[in-house]
Amino acid sequence: MVDAAATRDRDDAFAVTRVGSGWRVEVHVANVADVVPVAGTADARAFARRASMYRRSGTTPMLGREVEAATTLVPGVDRRTVRFDIELDHAAAVTKTTLSRSWTQGRAAALTYTAAAAVLADPAAPLHAEVLAAQQLATLLLARRRAAGALAIYDLVHGLATTEEGNLIVLDDQERSNTYMVVAELMILANSVGAVWAAERELPILYRNHRANPVGAAADVVAAEIMAALDDPARLAGVRARLAVTIGRASYDPVVRGHHGLQLPLYTHLTSPLRRWPDLASQRVLLAALDRAPAPYRVDQMAALAADFNRRDTAARAATAAHHQAADHAETLRIAAAAPDLAGLDDGRWHKALKLAVAHTADPPPAVADQLRRRPATPRDLVVLLHAGAGWAGLRTEVFDTAQAGAPELGPSVLSGYLQLVGRTAGYSDEQAGPPHQPVFAAQVIDGDLVTVWRRGGSKKAARQAACWEMLHVLSGTSRPGDPASHPDLPAPRPPTPKPAPAVIDTAGRNPISMLNEYAQRHQLPVPGYTYTADGPGNAPTFTATVAVHQHSAQGVGPTKSIAKTRSAATLLAQLSGAGSGGGADTGPVPAMDPADGQRR
């Protein structure tokens, strides 16, 4: 067991050994479920508290002191556990997982992070071989996650690490040890194999799900920004603030949706049943399966419990944030009033002063406007400006134009932060043309039914950045939305072969779906039918819509069903206007249509 010196609720213990070229991991998790019955007093207390609370004034155990003392793992004391036996190959890929009821049999040894680091540094120390094997395996596990695209940082020099979701946190002094990384990676391993074990048996545990943010930066890009900012506190604060608004919050659910932050297809929380209620609930389900007994919760019960837990957890976090925000607002006002000008405020305090000004003034105060023009733009400051009133419009446009020209890479982060605050998500539509040695890319941002005009760039990244800025201008009222059925103006890969151009129905300003319905009604044909297919990952699918009218059909592709449907209708209208001369599943003659009003001639 490796933990902080003051830890009293020891949930887990582990042992790592080399087996040939591979590894064997043994993880013991305190068996709390056998001591805390479902819906009993302790369980109700734990569900209400959600998790143990750690404050400067002291710790409030989720289950209470008595239950904690009866179940925590103690050196030299035999305690009941849920045991994970995990076998891995030479590359740290899991080859076998076994779960069972077990006991610690008095074998558990307790080490602080500092003591474990000392053992690791001393080859003659007891447990050196075991701790060294754990470090070697944890290093491989970390490398595998990073290679899969996870944002995983442990910077012990600066005392920084990333959470499971990818937020950057500051470590306590005692956690600034390489053994902190060892414990974190081994617990992630146990939680992930436990999720797979449960899913294979269709068990209704609480899976830990985390969705990708479609307009968030890639992990390697963010990692590079963090490393470049480590010795620049102001720049690092900006990166942390951007991560705080662009990385979504994970949730619990009895349905698997994957964990983007960890880049794992299945994940759950099982290793802290003393500290987190979801771990306790899921442990009950696992033990019932091991005992070949009915699950203690139905799927619908677990879904209701998860929804209530997520709601209360979100509300509690919001209340805590509001409390700290109110105190911080008062302190910001005091400091701002005492400062001769706003230039003396640090970046954090300046951001708070800007938020107060936006919230409480109809027009930008001169001192605030001056600082917005002088200070380098940060994503969180630009997000605040999106919420400013009409009196701020001119200054907002000026600041946005300057930021777009000088730091175009901020566009995706600003848009992502805004969408997080308003509870929406957005995605991209991309196209490419031109010769391989000189490609041209185009992108548009889709936010529900709101889309941007297409923006071009010399790379997909540049085109997406330009499209994000375009959406920001749309949201601020300085640009018009685009047409969902439009296509980008890209160069053809080769000169087109001259041929008679068919008449084209002008759909500008009209809905292609409605026009197609009118066509079918006018000519007494069946109502157009649409079918859909979806490809790609669940968090970023691509939809294909197929529309059929009489003997004719066409397809449209888009990031949402609505976009795909609109494009399929527009494509079929184009075919019909050309008298069946282009694409689709055209199986019969079609009289030409008047491009002015869609009437047959």
What are the tens digits of pLDDT across the range 469-520? Answer: 999 999 999 999 999 888 888 876 555 545 444 444 455 557 888 888 888 8
Q: Is 70 exceeded by the pLDDT of residue 529?
A: yes
Query: Torsions phi, psi of 591, nearest 5?
Result: -60, 145
Which residues have C-beta within 8 Å of that of residue 550, sequence separation ≥ 6?
A: 520, 525, 526, 588
pLDDT band at 237 (very low <50, low <70, confident <90, very high): confident
Residue-wise pLDDT tens digits, 287-313 = 999 999 999 999 999 999 999 999 998
Whether 479 and 515 share a structural domain: no
- The residue-averaged pLDDT of 143-164 equals 91
Has residue 421 been placed in a domain? no
Q: What is the CATH number of the domain that holds 441?
A: 3.30.160.20
Lowest mean pLDDT: which of 33-37, 203-207, 282-286, 583-587?
Answer: 583-587
Mean pLDDT score of the chain: 85
Q: Is 60 exceeded by the pLDDT of residue 582?
A: no
Query: What is residue 127's predicted lDDT score, i.e. its pLDDT?
Result: 92
Q: What is the dihedral of CA 336, 342, 346, 349, to 10 degrees?
A: 40
Query: What is residue 499's predicted lDDT score, i.e. its pLDDT?
Result: 47
Q: Which of 475, 496, 517 is the last residue of a domain?
A: 496
pLDDT band at 534 (very low <50, low <70, confident <90, very high): confident
Number of H helices, E strands in the chain: 17, 20
Whether 103 and 206 share a structural domain: yes
Whether 478 and 548 share a structural domain: no
Rounded to whole angstroms, the Cα distance separating 52 from 513 reads 55
pTM summary value: 0.60
Token pair 């942390």 in the structure block, residue: 240
Inter-residue contact 135 to 127 (CB < 8 Å): no
- The residue-averaged pLDDT of 64-78 equals 90
Query: What is residue 150's predicted lDDT score, i.e. its pLDDT?
Result: 92
Whether 532 and 463 share a structural domain: no
- The residue-averaged pLDDT of 318-347 equals 69
- The residue-averaged pLDDT of 6-21 equals 89
Whether 508 and 491 share a structural domain: no
Whether 285 and 312 share a structural domain: yes
Q: Is 50 exceeded by the pLDDT of residue 596?
A: no
Number of structural domains the chain divides into = 3
Query: What is residue 219's predicted lDDT score, i.e. its pLDDT?
Result: 84
Query: What is residue 331's predicted lDDT score, i.e. its pLDDT?
Result: 65
Has residue 256 been placed in a domain? yes
**Where is pLDDT greater, at 497 or 421?**
421
Query: What is residue 539's predicted lDDT score, i.e. its pLDDT?
Result: 64
Whether 451 and 520 share a structural domain: no
Query: What is residue 490's predicted lDDT score, i.e. its pLDDT?
Result: 83
- Which residues constitute the domain of residue 25? 2-128+149-211+248-322
Whether 309 and 441 share a structural domain: no
Query: What is residue 357's predicted lDDT score, i.e. its pLDDT?
Result: 86
Share of the chain above pLDDT 90, in %: 49
Q: Is 90 exceeded by the pLDDT of residue 96?
A: yes
Most confident of 40-54, 131-145, 243-257, 564-578: 131-145
- The residue-averaged pLDDT of 62-70 equals 90
Q: Is 70 exceeded by the pLDDT of residue 78?
A: yes
Q: Are strands 2-3 and 111-112 parallel, antiparallel or unpaired?
A: parallel
Query: Torsions phi, psi of 331, nearest 5?
Result: -70, -35
Whether 257 and 162 share a structural domain: yes
- The residue-averaged pLDDT of 176-184 equals 91
Whether 19 and 123 share a structural domain: yes
Q: Which of 296, 322, 348 is the last residue of a domain?
A: 322
Whether 312 and 207 share a structural domain: yes
Residue 18, strand partner residues: 23
Whether 451 and 526 share a structural domain: no
